[in-house]
Amino acid sequence: MRVLSGIQPSGKLHIGNYFGAMRQHLHLQHENDGFYFIADYHAMTSNPAPDDLAARTFEVAMDYLALGLNPQKTVFWRQSDVPEVIELSWILSCITPMGLLQRCVSYKDKVAQGLSANHGLFAYPVLQAADILIFKSDIVPVGADQKQHIEVTRDIAERFNQTYGELLKPPADHILESVAVVPGVDGRKMSKSYGNTIEIFEPESSVKKKIMRIVTDSTPVEEPKDPDKCNVYALLKLVASPEELTQWRERYQAGGMGYGEVKKRTAELMMEYFRPYRQKRQELQNDITYVKKVLADGAARARAIARNTLNEVRNAVGLRS
């Protein structure tokens, strides 16, 4: 099966991104033909500073490679290195009803959060459809927040096929099984836009400091505590063995445990979890030429496929000489 997904380079990747999406992308690459890309065209919808956009794109590439993306097997590229998607996006735009896009909640949410209501942001789902359809993807693993965009993609593919003949493949969505939302240090959903993240590759000393400062309730040490309401336990759950987790659960419920103790252990386990990847990340940082080569090779492989679909589409719609 061809599995495709994109991740926006809109800031440094955090452990919410990792446990909520990246880890599952990385698992899926073993048994499928993985197509993963860094959605830098999409990131432009929030008007980043040019140097930030370039730097973040490259950081996302290094993060994915450090965390185990295998560029021999999986095609991995930067979206803007395959500009064919923009042409397909335009062609698809011309058969996409305004109403379909007006119903998309992600546009409304982003504008409500303060992003400028530009046309790129409005047309975002059409570009996403082009990303998916140009590679004839079978499955698109995404978080629940993206479900609607996959439905829009199917709708656009079906309209295209009805108008111009069966050419595009409506994808199945694959909603990533939710690891529940990873909370940030202030207890809200961990998110770049809330400034409450623990970045995957920030220095260990800073990871530790942040975990020690996670907001907890004020239940006194001696009293029993509810692990399922605790932000620290939510992180511990991601990295502790089942046996150790059971022990901590019992300690929460028995009383006599201070939050400082469980924070300390969570920080240790979190640092251990990412330590091997951290080394790899450092090696990549020291070998930028290699990272650039991976992206260039990925773009060449992706582009050949994209070109092919685009030629078929151009021919079908009458853009032929």
130 binds ligand TRP (CB under 6 A): no
Which residues 6+ apart lie within 8 Å of 214 measured at CB?
A: 185, 187, 231, 232, 235, 263
Which CB atom, from 190 or from 295, has the smaller least distance to ligand ADP?
190
Tell me, what DSSP letter sits at residue 320?
-
Instruction: Give the nearest distance from C-beta 188 to ligand ADP in angstroms.
Output: 9
User: What burial class does residue 219 get, using C-beta atoms within 10 Å of its C-beta: 0-12 exposed, 13-18 middle, 19+ buried?
Assistant: middle
Instruction: Give the nearest distance from C-beta 214 to ligand ADP in angstroms.
Output: 14
Which CB atom, from 21 or from 69, has the smaller least distance to ligand ADP?
21
Which residues 6+ apart lie within 8 Å of 44 measured at CB?
A: 53, 120
Q: Give the three-class secondary structure for 221.
A: coil
Backbone torsions φ then ψ of 205, nearest 5 degrees: -60, -35
Neighbours of 30 (CB within 10 A): 11
Instruction: Give the nearest distance from C-beta 156 to ligand TRP in angstroms.
Output: 13
Binding marks (x or -) toward ligand TRP, 27..46, rule CB under 6 A? ------------x--x----
CA-nearest of 316, 312, 283, 275 to 134 is: 312
295 binds ligand TRP (CB under 6 A): no
* Interacting residues with ligand ADP (CB under 6 A): 8, 10, 16-17, 20-21, 142-143, 145, 181-182, 189-193
Residues in binding contact with ligand TRP, number by CB under 6 A: 12
Which CB atom, from 53 or from 132, has the smaller least distance to ligand TRP?
132
Catalytic residue among 12, 169, 189, 280, which? 189
Q: Give the three-class secondary structure for 175.
A: strand
Which CB atom, from 188 or from 293, has the smaller least distance to ligand ADP?
188
Binding-site ranges for ligand TRP (CB under 6 A)? 4-6, 8, 39, 42, 128, 131-132, 140, 142, 146
Q: Which residues are catalytic?
A: 110, 189, 192
